[in-house]
Amino acid sequence: MSTGKLTRKGEARRKEILEVFHDVLSCEGLEGASMSKVASRMGVAPSLIMHYFPSKEEMVVALVDHILARYEETFLPRLRGIGDPEERLRAATDLLLGPEWPGLVDEAVFYACYSLGFRDRRVRESFRRMYARLREVLAEEIAALMDEGAVVRGDPWNAADLVITLLEGYDFYRGVMEGEKHFEDFGRFLRETVLTLLGTGGEKELGVSPSQVQARQVPSGEAAASYTRAASAEKARGPGGGARTR
Protein backbone atom coordinates (compact mmCIF):
# COMPACT_ATOMS: atom_id res chain seq x y z
CA MET A 1 0.00 0.00 0.00
CA SER A 2 2.47 2.58 1.15
CA THR A 3 5.58 0.85 -0.17
CA GLY A 4 6.97 1.49 -3.62
CA LYS A 5 7.85 -1.18 -6.13
CA LEU A 6 8.36 -4.58 -4.61
CA THR A 7 9.45 -7.72 -6.46
CA ARG A 8 8.31 -11.15 -5.32
CA LYS A 9 11.54 -11.43 -3.42
CA GLY A 10 10.89 -8.05 -1.91
CA GLU A 11 7.41 -9.03 -0.79
CA ALA A 12 8.81 -12.12 0.85
CA ARG A 13 11.45 -10.07 2.63
CA ARG A 14 8.84 -7.68 3.86
CA LYS A 15 6.80 -10.52 5.28
CA GLU A 16 9.89 -12.13 6.75
CA ILE A 17 10.81 -8.90 8.48
CA LEU A 18 7.34 -8.65 9.99
CA GLU A 19 7.55 -12.19 11.26
CA VAL A 20 10.95 -11.72 12.83
CA PHE A 21 9.75 -8.47 14.32
CA HIS A 22 6.80 -10.38 15.75
CA ASP A 23 9.20 -12.78 17.45
CA VAL A 24 11.43 -10.06 18.81
CA LEU A 25 8.39 -8.20 20.08
CA SER A 26 7.17 -11.35 21.76
CA CYS A 27 10.45 -11.85 23.57
CA GLU A 28 11.41 -8.29 24.35
CA GLY A 29 8.28 -6.18 24.25
CA LEU A 30 7.84 -2.77 22.71
CA GLU A 31 10.62 -1.45 24.93
CA GLY A 32 13.18 -4.00 23.82
CA ALA A 33 12.24 -4.55 20.21
CA SER A 34 14.39 -2.60 17.80
CA MET A 35 15.09 -2.56 14.09
CA SER A 36 18.70 -3.38 14.88
CA LYS A 37 17.68 -6.54 16.66
CA VAL A 38 15.47 -7.57 13.78
CA ALA A 39 18.37 -6.98 11.40
CA SER A 40 20.92 -8.85 13.46
CA ARG A 41 18.54 -11.74 14.04
CA MET A 42 18.08 -11.97 10.27
CA GLY A 43 21.77 -11.52 9.58
CA VAL A 44 21.29 -8.50 7.35
CA ALA A 45 22.26 -4.87 7.50
CA PRO A 46 20.03 -2.58 9.57
CA SER A 47 19.64 -0.34 6.57
CA LEU A 48 17.89 -3.15 4.77
CA ILE A 49 15.11 -3.05 7.32
CA MET A 50 14.71 0.64 6.72
CA HIS A 51 14.48 0.02 3.02
CA TYR A 52 11.22 -1.83 3.64
CA PHE A 53 9.94 0.16 6.59
CA PRO A 54 11.03 3.77 6.55
CA SER A 55 10.58 4.09 10.29
CA LYS A 56 9.91 2.02 13.33
CA GLU A 57 6.38 3.32 13.49
CA GLU A 58 5.65 2.16 9.95
CA MET A 59 6.88 -1.27 10.93
CA VAL A 60 4.71 -1.62 13.97
CA VAL A 61 1.66 -0.28 12.15
CA ALA A 62 2.23 -2.87 9.46
CA LEU A 63 2.56 -5.57 12.11
CA VAL A 64 -0.73 -4.58 13.68
CA ASP A 65 -2.54 -4.95 10.38
CA HIS A 66 -0.73 -8.23 9.85
CA ILE A 67 -1.86 -9.79 13.12
CA LEU A 68 -5.39 -8.40 13.03
CA ALA A 69 -5.78 -9.80 9.55
CA ARG A 70 -4.83 -13.20 10.93
CA TYR A 71 -7.89 -13.14 13.20
CA GLU A 72 -10.23 -12.21 10.41
CA GLU A 73 -8.75 -14.68 7.98
CA THR A 74 -9.47 -17.41 10.49
CA PHE A 75 -12.88 -16.26 11.63
CA LEU A 76 -14.77 -15.43 8.47
CA PRO A 77 -14.07 -18.52 6.35
CA ARG A 78 -14.95 -20.74 9.26
CA LEU A 79 -18.56 -19.63 9.12
CA ARG A 80 -19.02 -19.67 5.38
CA GLY A 81 -19.68 -23.34 4.97
CA ILE A 82 -22.40 -23.54 7.59
CA GLY A 83 -25.99 -23.12 6.52
CA ASP A 84 -27.98 -23.25 9.71
CA PRO A 85 -27.83 -19.94 11.61
CA GLU A 86 -27.91 -21.66 14.97
CA GLU A 87 -25.03 -23.90 14.07
CA ARG A 88 -23.18 -20.93 12.62
CA LEU A 89 -23.46 -18.93 15.81
CA ARG A 90 -22.36 -21.90 17.83
CA ALA A 91 -19.36 -22.36 15.56
CA ALA A 92 -18.53 -18.69 15.97
CA THR A 93 -18.58 -18.71 19.75
CA ASP A 94 -16.80 -22.06 19.89
CA LEU A 95 -14.04 -20.61 17.77
CA LEU A 96 -13.78 -17.31 19.64
CA LEU A 97 -13.76 -18.95 23.06
CA GLY A 98 -12.06 -22.19 22.11
CA PRO A 99 -8.50 -23.38 22.42
CA GLU A 100 -7.50 -22.40 18.90
CA TRP A 101 -8.14 -18.67 19.15
CA PRO A 102 -5.46 -17.66 21.66
CA GLY A 103 -2.89 -19.56 19.60
CA LEU A 104 -3.51 -17.45 16.52
CA VAL A 105 -1.51 -14.49 17.71
CA ASP A 106 1.04 -14.34 20.48
CA GLU A 107 -0.64 -12.79 23.50
CA ALA A 108 2.33 -10.66 24.42
CA VAL A 109 2.42 -9.21 20.92
CA PHE A 110 -1.31 -8.65 20.84
CA TYR A 111 -1.41 -6.69 24.07
CA ALA A 112 1.73 -4.76 23.21
CA CYS A 113 -0.01 -3.65 20.01
CA TYR A 114 -3.23 -2.93 21.83
CA SER A 115 -1.47 -0.76 24.38
CA LEU A 116 0.26 1.07 21.57
CA GLY A 117 -3.19 2.00 20.29
CA PHE A 118 -3.51 4.50 23.12
CA ARG A 119 -0.70 6.54 21.60
CA ASP A 120 -0.86 5.78 17.89
CA ARG A 121 -3.88 6.90 15.93
CA ARG A 122 -3.38 4.41 13.10
CA VAL A 123 -3.01 1.47 15.44
CA ARG A 124 -6.11 2.53 17.31
CA GLU A 125 -8.09 2.78 14.12
CA SER A 126 -6.96 -0.59 12.87
CA PHE A 127 -8.24 -2.13 16.08
CA ARG A 128 -11.45 -0.18 15.91
CA ARG A 129 -12.12 -1.24 12.36
CA MET A 130 -11.51 -4.88 13.15
CA TYR A 131 -13.83 -4.93 16.12
CA ALA A 132 -16.44 -2.98 14.20
CA ARG A 133 -16.37 -5.66 11.53
CA LEU A 134 -16.54 -8.46 14.07
CA ARG A 135 -19.44 -6.70 15.74
CA GLU A 136 -21.21 -6.40 12.43
CA VAL A 137 -20.82 -10.09 11.66
CA LEU A 138 -21.92 -11.20 15.10
CA ALA A 139 -24.95 -8.92 15.11
CA GLU A 140 -25.87 -10.21 11.69
CA GLU A 141 -25.66 -13.79 12.90
CA ILE A 142 -27.76 -13.06 15.93
CA ALA A 143 -30.29 -11.16 13.89
CA ALA A 144 -30.53 -14.09 11.50
CA LEU A 145 -31.34 -16.30 14.45
CA MET A 146 -34.03 -13.89 15.52
CA ASP A 147 -35.61 -13.80 12.09
CA GLU A 148 -35.68 -17.55 11.94
CA GLY A 149 -36.55 -19.14 15.22
CA ALA A 150 -37.53 -16.10 17.21
CA VAL A 151 -35.38 -17.68 19.91
CA VAL A 152 -33.24 -14.69 20.39
CA ARG A 153 -34.82 -11.44 21.40
CA GLY A 154 -33.48 -8.05 22.25
CA ASP A 155 -31.03 -5.87 20.45
CA PRO A 156 -28.57 -7.92 18.39
CA TRP A 157 -26.05 -5.11 18.63
CA ASN A 158 -25.99 -5.35 22.37
CA ALA A 159 -25.71 -9.11 22.13
CA ALA A 160 -22.79 -8.77 19.74
CA ASP A 161 -21.09 -6.32 22.07
CA LEU A 162 -21.63 -8.76 24.89
CA VAL A 163 -19.98 -11.58 22.98
CA ILE A 164 -16.98 -9.38 22.19
CA THR A 165 -16.77 -8.33 25.81
CA LEU A 166 -16.79 -11.93 26.95
CA LEU A 167 -14.22 -12.89 24.34
CA GLU A 168 -11.78 -10.17 25.27
CA GLY A 169 -12.37 -10.46 28.98
CA TYR A 170 -11.69 -14.16 28.74
CA ASP A 171 -8.47 -13.62 26.81
CA PHE A 172 -7.36 -10.98 29.28
CA TYR A 173 -8.18 -13.19 32.23
CA ARG A 174 -6.27 -16.05 30.68
CA GLY A 175 -3.16 -13.91 30.59
CA VAL A 176 -3.46 -13.61 34.35
CA MET A 177 -4.80 -17.00 35.37
CA GLU A 178 -3.49 -19.43 32.78
CA GLY A 179 -2.20 -22.49 34.52
CA GLU A 180 -4.52 -22.26 37.50
CA LYS A 181 -6.78 -25.25 37.69
CA HIS A 182 -9.92 -23.19 38.23
CA PHE A 183 -9.39 -21.34 34.99
CA GLU A 184 -10.03 -24.40 32.89
CA ASP A 185 -13.29 -25.03 34.68
CA PHE A 186 -14.29 -21.49 34.03
CA GLY A 187 -13.52 -21.85 30.33
CA ARG A 188 -15.97 -24.71 30.03
CA PHE A 189 -18.51 -22.80 32.04
CA LEU A 190 -18.12 -19.72 29.88
CA ARG A 191 -18.49 -21.56 26.61
CA GLU A 192 -21.78 -22.99 27.81
CA THR A 193 -22.93 -19.77 29.36
CA VAL A 194 -22.55 -17.72 26.24
CA LEU A 195 -24.47 -20.26 24.22
CA THR A 196 -27.29 -20.33 26.71
CA LEU A 197 -27.31 -16.56 26.84
CA LEU A 198 -27.70 -16.48 23.11
CA GLY A 199 -30.44 -19.09 23.15
CA THR A 200 -28.63 -21.90 21.38
CA GLY A 201 -27.54 -23.73 24.46
CA GLY A 202 -29.97 -26.60 24.36
CA GLU A 203 -31.27 -27.97 27.63
CA LYS A 204 -28.44 -26.88 29.82
CA GLU A 205 -28.87 -24.78 32.86
CA LEU A 206 -26.76 -21.82 33.54
CA GLY A 207 -24.79 -21.17 36.63
CA VAL A 208 -23.09 -24.44 37.21
CA SER A 209 -19.88 -25.56 35.69
CA PRO A 210 -20.49 -28.77 33.74
CA SER A 211 -17.79 -30.44 35.77
CA GLN A 212 -19.99 -29.97 38.77
CA VAL A 213 -23.29 -31.11 37.40
CA GLN A 214 -24.32 -34.33 39.06
CA ALA A 215 -27.69 -35.91 38.59
CA ARG A 216 -29.84 -32.89 38.74
CA GLN A 217 -33.47 -32.22 37.93
CA VAL A 218 -34.17 -29.86 35.11
CA PRO A 219 -37.45 -28.07 35.70
CA SER A 220 -39.55 -28.82 32.67
CA GLY A 221 -40.86 -25.54 31.41
CA GLU A 222 -38.30 -22.83 30.83
CA ALA A 223 -35.19 -24.63 31.88
CA ALA A 224 -32.49 -22.52 30.40
CA ALA A 225 -32.71 -19.06 31.77
CA SER A 226 -31.69 -16.83 28.97
CA TYR A 227 -32.28 -13.39 27.75
CA THR A 228 -32.86 -14.97 24.42
CA ARG A 229 -36.01 -16.69 25.43
CA ALA A 230 -38.91 -14.58 26.56
CA ALA A 231 -42.20 -13.13 25.58
CA SER A 232 -41.95 -9.61 24.30
CA ALA A 233 -40.95 -9.54 20.73
CA GLU A 234 -40.66 -6.04 19.39
CA LYS A 235 -38.59 -7.48 16.57
CA ALA A 236 -35.51 -5.39 17.07
CA ARG A 237 -34.17 -4.32 13.72
CA GLY A 238 -31.24 -6.43 12.67
CA PRO A 239 -28.07 -5.07 11.21
CA GLY A 240 -27.11 -5.15 7.59
CA GLY A 241 -28.75 -1.89 6.65
CA GLY A 242 -25.44 -0.34 5.76
CA ALA A 243 -22.53 0.94 7.76
CA ARG A 244 -24.18 2.12 10.92
CA THR A 245 -20.86 2.00 12.70
CA ARG A 246 -18.45 4.08 10.71
Partner DNA sequence: AGCATAATTGAATGTTCATTCAATTATGCT
Partner DNA sequence: AGCATAATTGAATGAACATTCAATTATGCT
Chain residues in the site for DNA (CB under 7 A): 4-11, 13, 32-37, 43-51, 54-57
Percent helix, strand, coil in the chain (nearest 5)? 65, 0, 35
If DSSP states are collapsed to H, E and C, what string results for 92-103?
A: HHHHHHCCCHHH
Per CB under 8 A, does 121 bind a second copy?
Answer: no
Per CB under 8 A, does 230 bind a second copy?
Answer: yes
Q: Which stretch binds a second copy (CB under 8 A): 7-15, 43-51, 82-90, 225-233?
A: 225-233
Per CB under 8 A, does 243 bind a second copy?
Answer: no
Q: CA 145, 147, 149: angle at the middle one, nearest 5?
A: 60
Per CB under 8 A, does 200 bind a second copy?
Answer: no
Write the CA distances from 162 to 88, 141, 174, integer angstroms: 17, 14, 18
Least distance from a second copy to the Cβ atom of residue 25, Å? 10
If DSSP states are collapsed to H, E and C, what string results for 144-209?
A: HHHHHHCCCCCCHHHHHHHHHHHHHHHHHHHHHHCCCHHHHHHHHHHHHHHHHHHCCCCCCCCCCC
Least distance from DNA to the Cβ atom of residue 47, Å? 3
Which CB, 15 or 211, lies closer to a second copy? 211
Q: CA 35, 41, 45: angle at the middle one, nearest 5?
A: 60
Among a second copy, DNA, none, what binds residue 150 when CB lies within 5 to 8 Å by partner kind? Answer: none
Q: For residue 153, which phi and psi values (nearest 5 degrees)? A: -130, 175
Residue 122 CB neighbour total at 10 angstroms? 16
Identify the DSSP state of 211: G
Least distance from a second copy to the Cβ atom of residue 100, Å? 19
For a second copy (CB under 8 A), the number of binding residues is 74
Which CB, 29 or 102, lies closer to DNA? 29
In three-state secondary structure terms, 82 is coil
What is the spatial distance between Cα 73 and Cα 127, in angstroms, rounded to a whole number? 15
Per CB under 8 A, does 93 bind a second copy?
Answer: no
Among a second copy, DNA, none, what binds residue 176 when CB lies within 5 to 8 Å by partner kind? Answer: a second copy
Among DNA, a second copy, none, what binds residue 115 when CB lies within 5 to 8 Å by partner kind? Answer: a second copy
Among DNA, a second copy, none, what binds residue 138 when CB lies within 5 to 8 Å by partner kind? Answer: none
Least distance from a second copy to the Cβ atom of residue 120, Å? 9
Per CB under 8 A, does 2 bind a second copy?
Answer: no
Kindly identify the residues of this chain, within the stretch 139-198, that bind a second copy according to CB under 8 A.
Answer: 152-155, 157-159, 161-162, 164-170, 172-173, 175-177, 180, 182-183, 185-186, 189-190, 193, 196
Least distance from a second copy to the Cβ atom of residue 164, Å? 6
